[in-house]
Amino acid sequence: MSRKTFPQQTSVLIVGAGPAGLSAALALSRAGVDAVLIDARKRIGHPVRCAEMTHRLLFEILGVQPRPTWVRWVLGKSGLVVLNRPRLEEDLAGLCAEKGVGVFPETSLFGLSPFDGKGRKALVLHRGRAREVYAACVIAADGMASATARLAGLAAPLGPQKVASCAFQMITGAKPEQESNPFLGPLPSYPFPLFYFWALPQGRGRINAGILVPGMDGGRARFLLDRAIANTRAFSGGRPGKFHCGLLPLGGPLKRLVGDGILVTGTAARLVSVGGEGILPAAFSGREAARTVADHPGSSAEAQNLAAFPRRIKNLIDHYADGWNRVEKGMPLGKSPWETLDGKNLSRFQG
């Protein structure tokens, strides 16, 4: 993606080129901060691992004008959109590279030295070759199983009770009853709203059908999805397309998002709503992490200088933590587990 040779040093190393990492990279480039963005995938944006629904506020958070190729479908007047997430992330990575960010796919982090007062040494595998890069600050944006957060001592591995499995499939040739509204319903034998079935219209007779089930039932996800599709009238006459799967953290945000020379964002920080929304909080937290770093040019990235980051996103953290606490206590959530996708609700998270 980037034509630069792999660097030995950078101001900020961003690990993960999903919504959080790309948002951070864009914000740092605008602030004139030297940054390197790495991603373990061979091709950024591929494969997709989520249902791709989010709110149009995403583009405002990213600071970009939406392109027609980034949106598969607009869901009525709700403000909800279905993304073409692979195309979006691939294009955003290209935009980052154009703005001077070093973008390196096929690069994964496997080691992180202690903070030495000025930065950390990251050990990465870049296209099959071990490399070292010294960074004054690291932004962890590498998803639920974030190796970066674990290596920095900010996160422990999630147990099987704290993981959900999602499986989804594109159905073509179907005729949804309402092409402007998503369907969300409970799965039999699972407590709503944690585990559910969705039907997400994508226009032109296409529907994204998916389920979220306990991680321990991940081996049955394909069977459960097939059964849910077979029992849903909206899919009658449709043809199954590509099948995808992924994982989702349960239980709410990490307790610590900042350490010496490191900030944890997005799904790596477990900023995921009860309804499974992770794209918006990822982009928002990535942007605010970048702004926090940019506010301290030339200064040490000690935890005390980065402490503004969790304060910047406190409303988001508290909102999601409250939702998960309600689930654990068996309390009602409100109108919908996807209520955080309401534009008015999210507007207060804007910095």
Give ranges for CATH 3.50.50.60 in the chain. Answer: 9-155+254-347
- Whether residue 124 has pLDDT greater than 90: yes
Alpha helices, DSSP H only, in the chain?
19-31, 57-62, 85-98, 147-151, 221-230, 279-294, 303-306, 308-312, 314-328, 343-347
Q: Which CATH class is domain 160-249?
A: alpha beta
Residues 126-142, mean pLDDT to the nearest whole number: 96
pTM score = 0.93
- Topology of domain 9-155+254-347, per CATH? FAD/NAD(P)-binding domain (3.50.50)
| Band of residue 319 on the pLDDT scale cut at 50, 70, 90 | confident
Distance CA 33, CA 85 (A): 26
Number of H helices, E strands in the chain: 10, 16
| Band of residue 336 on the pLDDT scale cut at 50, 70, 90 | very low
Please tell me the predicted confidence (pLDDT) of residue 36: 97
Beta-bridge mates of residue 169 = 209, 243
Give ranges for CATH 3.30.9.10 in the chain. Answer: 160-249
Q: Is there a contact between 29 and 126 (Cβ–Cβ < 8 Å)? A: no
Distance CA 245, CA 240 (A): 15
HSE-up of residue 19 (Cα within 13 Å, Cβ side): 30
Please give the residue that has the higher pLDDT: either 254 or 339: 254
Q: DSSP letters of 73-107?
A: EE-TTSSEEEE-HHHHHHHHHHHHHHTT-EEESSE
Q: For 187-217, how does the pLDDT look when each residue is reduced to its tens digit (9 = 90+)?
A: 877 766 678 888 888 877 888 999 999 998 9
| Band of residue 81 on the pLDDT scale cut at 50, 70, 90 | very high
Pick from 281, 300, 262: nearest CA to 147:
262
Residues 274-296, mean pLDDT to the nearest whole number: 93
Please tell me the predicted confidence (pLDDT) of residue 177: 64
